[in-house]
Structure 1
Amino acid sequence: MLLSGLANTVYRILIIDDDIQNIFILEDILSPLGNIYFSESGSNALALVDKIKPDVILLDIEMPDMDGWQVCRALKSNPLYSDIPIIFITGHTEPEFEKLALESGGVDFITKPFNASICCLRVHTQLKFRQQNHLIVKAKEELQQLVNQVPMLITYWDAAGNNLFSNDYSGMWFDQLVGQVDGKHISSIFPAELSHAVLSHQKVATTKPVKYIVTVANDIGTSFYEVFQSKMKSSSGMDGYLVTVVDVSEVKHAKQALHSEKERLRVTLNSIGDAVIATDTKGLITFMNPIAERMTGWRIKEALHQKIETVMQLRDSNTRHTLLNPLYIALREQRIVAMALNSQLLARGGQVFAVEDSAAPIRNENGEVIGAIMVFHDVSETMAMAMKMSHLANHDQLTDLPNRILLQDRLSVACSSAKSFGTKAAALLVDIDHFKYLNDSLGHQLGDELICLMAQRINSLIPPSYTLARLGGDEFVVLMSDTQSVEASSILATKLVDAMHEPFVLAGQKFSVSISIGISVYPDDASDAEELMRHADVAMYRAKQEGRNRFSFFSYDLENSIRERHQLELSLRNALLNDELLVFYQPKFDLTTKRIIGAEALVRLTGDDGIFISPTEFIPLAEETGLIIKLGQQVLSKACIEAKRWFDMGYVIPVSVNVAVAQFADPNLEHMIATALQESQLPAELLELEITETALMLDAEEMQTKLSQLKALGVTIAIDDFGTGYSSLAYLKKFNVDVMKIDMSFVKDMLNNKHDYEIVKTIISLGRSMELTLIAEGVETEAQRQALIELDCVMGQGYLFSRPLPANEFSDFILLTEHWV
């Protein structure tokens, strides 16, 4: 047997005979061959066969109820018993009986009287045949089971390619194998690629199997089949060939995926910017990528099986001592280990790299450590960039001086040091006087150059232990640390102020510059670094208030004034935001007839307590903070609306509005005036713009252009406070102005001071010669009115006629004046 092998078998022999004597004789003869069973009736024997399942039956031919031929035919007609060999028992020796016995299905016959040896031999022979048949059947079953279970398709084909056998009964391999495939041609069963390959190999096939791979495309992708093909010769002498097919798609796809993954890993490791070195558990190198080769100076062929510390020499960047490679720690402790931050890699050629990163163990599928990998990269440029970024973050871009951030840190250190050692620290806040106007006239490029020259000059005047920082714009700070006295800061400030008297050379021209310095001392003036800087700012503002080109120390009175200034700025901003500014109107008179010929709009601001704040306080603040543009817009709008109301009442009274220097720098000035005239519907000839001499002298050419644009609107232009500025005839004749106002400072003392009288006389004469309308400001006495009339100035304004009035009172005043004139 194929799998079971031979086994000791006890045969079951059934004797069917109506003669009991024959049964006993046969039992005696055959008992050595197995277990004997008997039946005296043919019909009973059929029932007994199902129970004992005999290996051989001895059947008597002549029996009363059912003869032997009938029993034999009944057994052979039943598939369950048709294979049981039947030996007939007969007393006849004629050939006809023998022929009939064989035709009925019998295999042999025994004649009476019985010859014991021949009888035993005949029965034994049939039993052996029976046993062999059982073994063959069993072997076929086991072989079929084996064929069915193997994970491959087993087929057998004749020489013409027609199927003789297949172990696929369910269509698991190919749909065409389902059902009866015997005799079908291979091309109708196998896919085209597979059948073509099998047929093409048929010519070269031998008894030794040929192995090859066939690729088959299908709906779900590509399948790969490994084919074993050999030539066979059947027992009938017909040639054929055995073809076994193994689906290796998973293996093939897995190999392809593995190859792709290995290739992807190889390309990744060779392409990444990090260096990679792999070792075994002893630290012997098994892999290096190109970056590692470049950084270490070792080629992979040279580095293989070398100790990692030989190829990758690490040392401390500070002490230059050799460092233990973290890969060994990763192997020993079986964990990821980061490299020290101050590590250096000494390359084979002597080049030094600042490196960082980590090492990690490599494990197999069982979690066992089989090596380690070292990943590192060059951080030299990163560290240099970090230092550069740190420098940029802490230094001014224009001058490369410490900026506000670094200064704050050094101020804190200086204060802490002064507190610990009982010394002082001083902050000198340096600001360039009138730098905004200088920057606008020079241009920002030369302005930046001036800032750099200023920084160089200040730096040359202070010791290295001091810090010079730039806060931005035109502000510098000198930090004096560990000083012993306040006098030292005074001496330095004097030196700085005096040093600025030497002109700076820009674009081949010399420019004189002055500075204002505010000084605050720790711990005298401040309790911490923040307060020290704030008080230095307060002191600097005081120096500017006192006339600039000087230095000033901080005082609490000064701090209070700064607080008041802040409150004033807040009040001004709120008034502008809520449209709460008041506009008063001071009438202008014909000095001869005392009739109202115009009015000057004057802005007024009330504090939180309802008390008026002097314009000399909030107007300079508005100019300094940039609020003057919005303030001027609101005053202009209110004045135009009021003048239109007078016009609607039947009074043609021009209104004059002051235009500040900053407003002329505003490119929207012309549009703002045009809008105010349009919205109020005031005729343009009833609006007069008053401009100071100082504004005219800033940029004569540009001012001339702007004045022409404003005149084109139809408004009148007046020069305010004439005589207090440059009063240059060369400039004056260039400007297209209509009115000249004589400053009140000359009118006030013209009768008491001969020089003032002559100045007023000259201004009037100059105005007449230029055909300008003249108006005297500050007319307070009748004597002044008469003197002005005598000098041919017939227009004026002042307290002799009226103080500035609110809008409603001015309307009443118009009516009253018309009444008593």
Structure 2
Amino acid sequence: MDFEKQTVVVIDDEPTTLLMLESAIEALAHVITVSDSAEAFSVVAKTQPALVLLDVSMPGLSGFDVCEQLKSYANTASIPVIFITSHSDSEHETTALALGAIDFISKPIDVTLCRMRVKNHLTIQAQSDMLSTMNGKLEAEKKQLDVTLRSIADGVISTDASGDITFINPVAQRLSGYSEAEALGQPINVVMNLRDATTNSVMLNPAIYALEVRRPVAMAYNATLVSRHNQIFRVEDTASPIIDDQGNLLGAVIVFQDVSEAVEMAVKMTHLTNHDQLTGLPNRVLLHDRVMQAITRSFNAKQSVALMLIDIDNFKYLNDSLGHQVGDFIIASVAKRLSAAMGDNATLARVGGDEFACLLTDNGMGFSADSIAMKCLQKGREPIEIDGKSHQLSLSIGISLYPQDAANAEEMMRHADTAMYRSKSKGKDTFSFFSHDLQHAMHHRVETEICLRNALDNDLLAVYLQPKYKFSCNDVISAEALVRLFDENGNVIGPDAFIPLAEETGLIHLLGKQVLRKSCEFVAKCNTKGVDLKVAVNVAAKQLADPGFATEVKQIIDEAGIFPSSIELEVTESALMHDFEQTRTILNSLASLGVTIALDDFGTGYSSLSYLRQFPLNVLKIDRSFVIDMDKEQQAYDIVTAIVQLALSLDLSIVAEGIETKAHYDSLQELGCHYGQGYYMCKPITLDSFFEKYIVKSAVA
């Protein structure tokens, strides 16, 4: 045994004894001598020796006192102590052993005997250290093996020789539906419910068979695992017996994997080309082919064909708020209801995220389309139970007829889409036929789009400002920028008509950029008069979806030569939730520029308090729908009160919009609202009018 790295501390007040002991054991270990018992503890604690030789009788602290010190502290308690003593009575030995001593060396010292005792104890200590090291390595290997088995992507279950489970990893727990605590000790046949995929008959577990034949075996073809919660997984696996070096059968291990997706993919490859994966309904490709065939047949038979386009109302809100998994459940449920309503004589297809289409033939000039549309609306109104909660849905339906209003399949789909949007504009939960009025509306939409593109190309958009009044002093120190579009005759086209169009066509990016630029240039103009004006500009969801939006805002502000704090960007709740992570990143970038961020129309969208913490918001705007009713409805007043209190507690500025009466103004001022805007104070006015009315007068004052 090699003791070169071991250390022995010898504690004795007699120099002769120290010298003798050092000489006796210096060939066995590195020796440190201590003559002052008061220093003994600190030396031992610092050097952490393999062994301490301690004289019992010393001035100051006795050997018993030093030993008691050493055994009282965790970092020295395990160091073995051999007492050096001239006493041989049992009382001293009892005391020493009680304090934790492991041996005695008697005075006068027999050098040979002393060396042998020290050597034996150093050997024991070295073996103990080696055993501790090996145990540590074994424990580390055990942990590594356990982590590996639990991290493997396949399911792993081991059993004892009787087939009872001794280990189950997380994948196996998920597939079987049993937790580790529930599975351990259970027969593997109970936890792994294996059945034939075709006959549903019970299958022998391969682990049991491996125990019987004492060799590796594979699972039978076409096996399924039915989980505790009746989920069905197609699985493949191998099982092997666990046999030790002496040939003893200790148990079995089975490794299996979920191949459900691979099997389904193989089955569906030919199906997916023409069918929707979620609902199993025909997709747009197959529908188009059937519409063309129906048109050909109806032309020859002089009959009518109807195409219904069906959209789930407010689906995006449900999908975003409840999650895509719930959204898929809703779509699948609606698909089943629509299939039941239409019967076997119609082709129902899923043509988009939440859009369905139904092809009806031989419908007798459309009267059958009426009745089926009504059945679909009734089915759509039936509540859907999700996690114990009832959700009310509705549908919007558009109908196009061939040959009455369409000449081909593409035109039928386009006209049905137009009719469906008419249903939505009528309040949803209804159906509409394509008509000449809708054709006129489509023509008007095209004209509006042309007008909008012309205004954007030639910088003809008009920006109006509605002043915001500070309740504490009734001064105007900020305003909201509102965009206006004029047709070729100088008539105003309302934002409700062209803003949604801009979002649909992608023109919202250029529109927003022009409004922001004009607003910044107006702020710069006000600054020349010595007036600091803050202008709030509305931001659409699609603008926030642009990763370069913050850079664009900075460039426009820099070009105008104004402070970023002069600009406030108003975002809606729905815009915030469009892409949570990207939106937060962009808003943080904007906030770092010094731009103020306002949450517009609070309470009308998602109304989740989480984004008040997770987004860098500075301002909360109370929607006019609450303000306008607060003097007539207690509930509206209570909502406004709650919003104000919430904003105040979060140290957010509060802006109330839609103030139309003195009662509104007085109530909001009393509640502690900071700013207000509305027709009661001032309607939106042109930039020139605002400059003359508020800026010039302010500069003169």
Match for 2:367: what amino acid?
A: E
- One-letter identity of the residue aligned with 1:762: A
1:521 aligns with 2:401: yes
**Counterpart residue type for residue 748 of structure 1:** I
Distance 2:672 2:462 in 1: 35
Could you tell me which of 570, 582, 587 is aligned with 2:450?
570
> Is 2:465 aligned against 1:585?
yes
Aligned equivalent of 2:518: 638
Separation in 2 of the partners of 1:453 and 1:784?
45
Matched, 1:612 2:492: yes
Structure 2 equivalent of residue 621 of structure 1: 501
SS of equivalent residue, structure 1 residue 428: strand
Which amino acid is the alignment partner of residue 810 of structure 1? F
Larger Rg: 1
Cα distance in 2 for partners of 1:392, 1:735 equals: 41
Label 1:540 to 1:674 Cα distance change in 2 as closer, same or farther (>3 A): same
Show CA shifts across 1:763-807 (max 9, x none).
333332322222222334445434433333342222333322222
Distance 1:518 1:711 in 2: 44
Indicate the residue corresponding to 2:644 in structure 1: 764
Equivalent positions of 1:776-791 (< 5 A) are 776-791=656-671
Give the secondary-structure state (helix, strand or coil) at the position aligned to 1:712.
helix
1:656 Cα deviation from its structure 2 partner = 0.8
Q: Which residue is 2:368 aligned to?
A: 488
- Relative distance call for 1:556 and 1:729 in structure 2 (3 A) is same
Q: Which runs of 5+ in 1 are unaligned?
A: 1-388
The aligned counterpart of 2:419 is: 539
Question: Does structure 2 retain, via aligned residues, the 8 Å contact 1:595–1:817?
Answer: no
Instruction: Give me the whole-angstrom Cα distance separating, in 1, the residues matched to 2:270 and 2:578.
Output: 42
| C-alpha deviation, 1:624, in angstroms | 3.0
Once residues 405 and 697 of structure 1 are traced to their aligned partners in structure 2, the CA distance between those partners, rounded to angstroms, is: 32
Given candidates 655, 680, 692, the residue that maps to 1:812 is 692
Matched pairs, number? 434
Query: Shift of residue 613 of structure 1?
Result: 0.8
1:800 corresponds in structure 2 to 680
- 3-state SS of the aligned residue for 2:523? helix
Q: 2:274 & 2:292 partners in 1: Cα distance?
A: 15
Q: Greater CA deviation, 648-657 or 454-463? A: 454-463
CA distance in 2, matches of 1:601, 1:521: 45
Are positions 1:739 and 2:610 aligned together?
A: no
Amino acid at match of 1:466: A
Residue identity matched to 1:776: A
Partner Cα distance (1:397, 1:445) in 2? 14
Corresponding residue for residue 658 of structure 1: 538
- 5+ long unaligned stretches in structure 2: 1-268
Aligned-pair CA distance for 1:593? 3.1
The answer for the alignment partner of 1:425 in structure 2 is 305
Distance across 2 between alignment mates of 1:754 and 1:474: 37
1:510 Cα deviation from its structure 2 partner: 11
Contact 1:700 1:731 in 2 (8 A): no
- Identical residues among aligned pairs (%): 47
Counterpart in the other structure of 1:719: 599
- Partner Cα separation in structure 2 for residue 650 and residue 557 of structure 1: 54
CA-to-aligned-CA distance 1:577-607 (integer Å, 9 cap, x gap): 3332221111222234332211111111111
1:695 Cα deviation from its structure 2 partner: 3.0
Give the corresponding residue for 1:76: none
Relative distance call for 1:493 and 1:777 in structure 2 (3 A) is same
Which residue number in structure 1 is paired with residue 589 of structure 2?
709
Give 1:760's aligned amino acid.
V
Whether the 8 Å contact between 2:346 and 2:360 is mirrored in structure 1 is: yes
How far the C-alpha of 1:537 sits from its partner, in A, is 2.1
2:656 and 2:677 in contact (8 A); partners too: yes
Is 1:556 paired with 2:436?
yes
Per the TM alignment, residue 487 of structure 1 is displaced from its structure 2 partner at its CA by 3.3
Q: How do residues 153-168 of structure 1 correspond to structure 2 at under 5 angstroms?
A: none
The root-mean-square deviation of aligned C-alpha atoms, in Å, is: 4.1
Structure 1 residue 600 corresponds to structure 2 residue 475: no
Change (3 A) 1:395 1:765: closer
Which range moved further: 483-492 or 399-408? 399-408
Q: Indicate how the Cα distance of structure 1 residues 570 and 393 shifts in structure 2: closer, same or farther if over 3 A, else same.
A: farther
Deviation, 1:686, is 1.0
Do the aligned residues in 1 keep the contact of 2:545 with 2:583 (CA within 8 Å)? no
Give distance in 2, aligned partners of 1:639 and 1:424.
55
- Which TM-score applies when normalising by structure 2? 0.53
Give the distance between the partners of 1:519 and 1:576, measured in 2 at CA: 35
479-488 vs 730-739, greater mean Cα deviation? 730-739
Could you say what secondary structure the match of 2:685 adopts?
Answer: coil
Superposed CA offset, 1:393-430 (max 9, x none): 98889988766676556445534544554543211123
Structure 2: distance between partners of 1:782 and 1:447 = 45
Cα distance in 1, alignment partners of residues 383 and 631 from structure 2: 43
Describe the SS at the equivalent of 1:467.
strand
CA distance in 2, matches of 1:750, 1:451: 38
CA distance in 1, matches of 2:642, 2:279: 51
2:309 aligned counterpart, secondary structure: strand
Post-superposition Cα deviations, 1:339-373, rounded to whole Å, max 9, x if no partner, equal: xxxxxxxxxxxxxxxxxxxxxxxxxxxxxxxxxxx
Amino acid at match of 2:691: S
Matched, 1:669 2:549: yes
Match for residue 748 of structure 1 among 628, 631, 635: 628
1: distance between equivalents of 2:604 and 2:290? 47
* 3-state SS, counterpart of residue 593 of structure 2: coil
1:477 deviates by 2.9
Give the deviation of 1:563 after TM superposition.
2.2
Q: Deviations over 1:482-529 (max 9, x none)?
A: 12353322332344445556899999x999875432112345545665
- The 5 Å alignment of 1:357-372 reads none
> Is the Cα–Cα contact under 8 Å of residues 493 and 517 in structure 1 kept in the other structure?
yes
Change in Cα spacing, 1:412 to 1:692, as seen in structure 2 (3 Å) is closer
CA–CA distance in 2 between the matches of 1:668 and 1:447? 30
Change (3 A) 1:438 1:766: closer
Letter of the 1:645 counterpart? K
Alignment of 1:206-245 (within 5 A): none
Asked if the contact 2:307–2:357 (Cα under 8 Å) also holds between the matched residues in 1, the reply is yes
The change in CA–CA distance for 1:485 and 1:606 in structure 2 (over 3 A counts) is same
Mapping for residues 252-401 of structure 1, pairs under 5 Å: none
Query: Could you tell me how far 1:688 is from its partner in structure 2?
Result: 0.8
Counterpart CA distance in 1 for 2:356 and 2:330 is: 13
Deviations 1:550-591 (A, max 9, x none): 432223223322222222222223322333222111122223
- Give CA deviations for 1:66-114 in whole Å, capped at 9, x if unaligned: xxxxxxxxxxxxxxxxxxxxxxxxxxxxxxxxxxxxxxxxxxxxxxxxx
| TM-score normalised by L of structure 1 | 0.46
Counterpart residue type for residue 469 of structure 2: F
Amino acid at match of 2:680: L
Equivalent AA in structure 2 for residue 430 of structure 1 = I
Tell me which residue corresponds to 1:316: none
Q: In 2, distance between residues paired with 1:653 and 1:586?
A: 12
Query: 3-state SS of the aligned residue for 2:621?
Result: strand
Question: How far apart, CA to CA, are the structure 2 residues paired with 1:783 and 1:603?
Answer: 29
Q: With CA pairs under 8 Å and 6+ residues apart, which has the higher RCO, 1 or 2?
A: 2
**Per-residue CA distance 1:209-254 (angstroms, 9 max, x = gap):** xxxxxxxxxxxxxxxxxxxxxxxxxxxxxxxxxxxxxxxxxxxxxx
Give the partner amino acid of 2:509: I
